Chains A and B, each alone.
Chain A
Amino acid sequence: MNWIDIGHISDIPLHGARVVKTPVGCVALFRTGEDEVFAADDRCPHKGGPLSEGIVHGQSVTCPLHNWVFDLSTGQAHGADEGRIGTYPVRVEGGRLLIDGGAIGKRSAA
């Protein structure tokens, strides 16, 4: 894996998200109430809604356009809706956010 440091966990609001621009499109980094961080596509498969603008609850996010709910750990849509969003390996080390460059189409910057 090719871990890239993209910021500090406190850069993302608790129960919120921030976006990272990558060669595969915008990836949203979500921070849950338990300080877990997940990375997933910032695009709802339904009508393209920006998931980073949604409400984060538990380990899920609700799309702001039409309230589709996605599980952030699997990318799977909840309930009756069918669809999934891509998820990406991310980890937090000493408060720093590290995302896998390989998975988001980025070669090592070093």
Chain B
Amino acid sequence: MTQKLVIIGAGMASGRVIEHLLDADPGAYDITLFNAEPRGNYNRIMLSPVLSGEKTYEEIVTHGDDWYAERGITCRFGEHVVKIDPEMKVVEGENGHVPYDKLVIATGSAPFIIPVPGHDLPGVISYRDLDDTNAMIEAAAKGGKAVVIGGGLLGLEAAAGLKERGMDVTVLHLTGHLMERQLDEAAGYLLRKDLEARGITVKTRASTKAILGEDRAQAVLLENGETLGADLVVMAVGIRPETRLATDAHLDVARGIEVSAQMQTSDPDVFAVGECVEFNGHLFGLVAPLYDQAKVLADSLLGKSNAFAVKELATKLKVTGCDLFSAGDFAEGETREDIVFRDPARSIYKRLVIEDDRLIGAVMYGDTADGSWFFGLIKDGTDIEEMRETLIFGPAFQGGASADPLSAVAALPPEAEICGCNGVCKGQITSAIEGGATDLGAIRATTKASASCGTCAGLVEQLLSVTLGEDYAAPQAQPVCGCTSHTHEDVRRLIKSRELKSLAAVWQELGWTTANGCHICRPAVNYYLLADWPLEYRDDPQSRFVNERKHANIQKDGTFSVVPRMWGGITTPDELRAIADAADKYAVPTVKVTGGQRIDLLGVRGEDLPAIWSDLNRAGLVSGHAYSKGLRTVKTCVGTDHCRFGTQDSTGLGIKLEKHLWGSWTPHKLKLAVSGCPRNCAEATCKDIGVVCVDSGYEIHVGGAAGMEIKGTEVLCKVATEEEAVEVISAMTQIYRENARYLDRIYKWLARVGLDWVKAQIVDDLENRRLLAERFALSQSIYRKDPWAEHAQNSATRAQYAPLANLTLEAAE
């Protein structure tokens, strides 16, 4: 006897179920198909090409009305199902009941809407079905600005489509890089670059606070206060299984409708398939597993045994020109190894993750031709031990070529291009070597090879080594750390010449070998970026040592010391009272006067930092930066105000300098002093920069130290006025900021470049001095601010100082 089968939802999963059923046994069931959308099944994953105009709706329909009619399927399209009654085995639609013997729930998923104020205004749409797509096409016809919330697959496809239709598009993404579930940071960076190249603005770490507008959406307000004008807002932040009918029918529902490997729900006559189901804790958003489920479900309905199993998945983005591929698991792990290949010149990035001689994950950007081959290796669990060395080069390279880089370079023909930037081929370099060039610098000077981006420097060196043999002495320059072969100087030069403005850009373009650096290179590169691009680069607190992240000095027991600034060593009774009150209130065990004329509160608990700062701020005190690789103090004597020997107002100049320089970040700590006469009571001649006042003006000293090494200063120059002194010191600070290696004090850096070079730059060349001082002032327009106030007042930052949770207390029950 023919049984009655009711299916709720005419999507891609149920479409496949029907096909399999009819193929196997056309007479087994009498089928009724409900669909809330007033149409049958279309290929939902092709909505992006419809949005971008590459396809029409008609081209993506898979099952039209005729198809259902020919097969005798009763279609109830555009009709919502109100309720399922599993006891009576009846589905209640808006237009009447339908009894069933077997029921299939294929309700798919619903877009997740962030419940911010304004989310329900007209002009805010999600991106899920053809109606949404048509709404976007209609909106785009009027032009204007679109803001897409969500930088995942759907969001980016929406953004690309809207851009293609002429809108001015901004993508907002909550985390640090796009498509973070499918891509690692490096691939995310390349994707961003591609999108930006096509004119889409991308803002990461952007959290939406509200959508503004009277009668319709007009702007998006971000948590950081920024407002973006918007004629259309697309929310594409995620989807969740549509489970309402199942929940109401008392089926087992977790995040999705729970099913067995036979796609059976907790009711033996009710099945579920597609995005609405949960199986073994997994949810499904891509089409491949849905098709697997459909096959299993058709077999279950026909009484054949079959079981669904979760398989590895691969992702591609359907945006023309953005070539990315991601499959399997690409997280790092103790037992896992990475093979990373980067070709910055061609924007190619490939990363393979290997565990136990099996490929378990792959991320590729720029060149995804081998994606399906890698995916096959992942799915099949192929043993890759034999081809490991050449694995990353794909199937074409399998078959056993030697992996020795030198012999590979030796085998290159003379016309092979070595330096892509300057179009230099191997032959030109070997003839330069034959002409007498014996090192990288000479090759650069004669052929320009490796003189631009520098990433071919390794190849050039290999060529030198191959050509000169034993005569070649490899350079001894130390790389920054184990994550890169570049020296500090190279990294600094390349950041400037290639205009790299983010950490991820440096990792990718300079071929870092680790995913996101280490505790040695991250603080250095973070500093270089903020020193070179004060306006564009946003400081990364997570790439800073704890002291700078928390604006206090960590002590050996994990407590912190708090040091307010005391301009030029001057304080007032009110400030002293505020410091004493804070010491009492926060039970500070030690109060110490430091060598730099300040008061140190030692032993403050990390959790109390924002509160004590807030109290000190109220008394007008700001951070003394006693923790920073930046300006610390300007030590002073009393000068002409009180001293019988004083020649100038040394205290006044000290305060002036400190107010001018405070907050600036430098390669290492920077200490100054101003002494009022050559008796040098402020000890200016062992500071990084010191001023010794004399009758005729100001002697400016540099390169002293009283730390790991003790060094007296050398005189840089003598000037007549305070204004000149401030300009020379600004320029000196800036030239040090722009040139020194991270963690080099001025004296160490001077030993490399020489005092004469510095003199030529800022004493002899007045124009250059002025420009340096200007660049310093520009940076200070961003960085001269009190970090304590920022952390104490920003509730989100403030929360970071407190524990995430306290589980030491049992529930009061």
Which positions in A face B, CB cutoff 8 Å? 4, 6-7, 10-16, 18-23, 26, 29, 32-36, 47-50, 53-60, 62, 64-65, 67, 69, 71, 73-74, 76, 93-94, 97, 101, 104, 106-107, 109-110
Please, how many residues of chain B have a CB less than 8 angstroms from a CB on the other chain?
45
Q: Do A55 and B522 form a contact, CB below 8 Å, given A15-B542, A48-B558? A: yes
B514 touches A58 (CB 8 A): yes
The closest CB in chain B to the CB of A47 belongs to: B556
Neighbouring A residues of B549 by C-beta, 8 Å: 53
Q: A13-B800, A64-B554, A69-B519 known; A22 and B514 CB under 8 Å?
A: no
As a 0/1 sequence over residues 572 to 607 of chain B, the CB contacts with chain A under 8 angstroms (1 = contact) are 000000000000000000000000000000000010
B334 to A36, Cβ gap below 8 A? no
Q: CA of A110 to CA of B810 in the docked complex: distance in angstroms?
A: 10
B73 at the interface (CB under 8 A from A): no
Task: Provide the bound-state CA to CA distance between A86 and B283, in Å.
Answer: 31
- CB-CB under 8 A from A64, the residues of chain B are 545-546, 554
For residue B185, which residue of chain A has the nearest CB? Answer: A33
27 A-B pairs with C-beta separation under 8 A: A6-B804, A7-B804, A12-B804, A14-B175, A16-B800, A18-B803, A20-B804, A21-B808, A23-B808, A34-B180, A34-B185, A34-B330, A35-B175, A47-B556, A48-B558, A50-B558, A53-B606, A54-B519, A55-B523, A57-B519, A58-B332, A58-B516, A69-B519, A73-B334, A97-B804, A106-B807, A110-B811
Contacts of A23 in B (CB 8 A): 807-808
Asked if residues B176 and A57 are in contact (CB atoms below 8 Å), the reply is: no
B150 within 8 A of A: no
Contacts of A107 in B (CB 8 A): 810
Closest to A33 in B: B516
Given known contacts A35-B181, A48-B558, what 7 new A-B pairs fall within 8 Å (CB)? A7-B804, A19-B804, A54-B519, A57-B514, A57-B522, A59-B331, A64-B545
Contact call A21/B805, Cβ cutoff below 8 A: yes
Query: Pick the contact of A57 from B333, B517, B557, B807 — CB < 8 Å?
Result: B517
Interchain residue pairs A-B with the least CB separation, the first 5 = A62-B519, A15-B542, A53-B546, A18-B804, A6-B805
Q: Is residue B166 contacting chain A, with contact meaning CB distance below 8 A?
A: no
Interface centre among B255, B556, B799, B808 (most CB of A within 10 A): B808
User: Any chain A CB within 8 A of the CB of B515?
Assistant: yes
Instruction: For residue A104, give the distance in angstroms from its CB to the closest CB of chain B.
Output: 7
Min Cβ gap A91→B in Å is 10
B-side contacts of A97, CB under 8 Å: 804
Question: With A11-B799, A48-B557 in contact, do A55 and B810 touch (Cβ < 8 Å)?
Answer: no
Interface 0/1 of B525-548, CB less than 8 Å to A:
000000000000000111111100
The answer to whether A67 touches B519, judged by C-beta atoms less than 8 angstroms apart, is yes
- Of all chain B residues, the one with the shortest Cβ separation from A53 is B546
Which residues does chain A contribute within 8 Å of B556, judged by CB atoms? 47, 65
Interface centre among A29, A55, A59, A69, by most B CB within 10 Å?
A55
Contact B558 A21, beta carbon cutoff 8 Å: no
Interface centre among A23, A53, A62, A65 (most CB of B within 10 A): A53
Flag if A15 contacts B546 (CB, 8 Å).
Answer: no
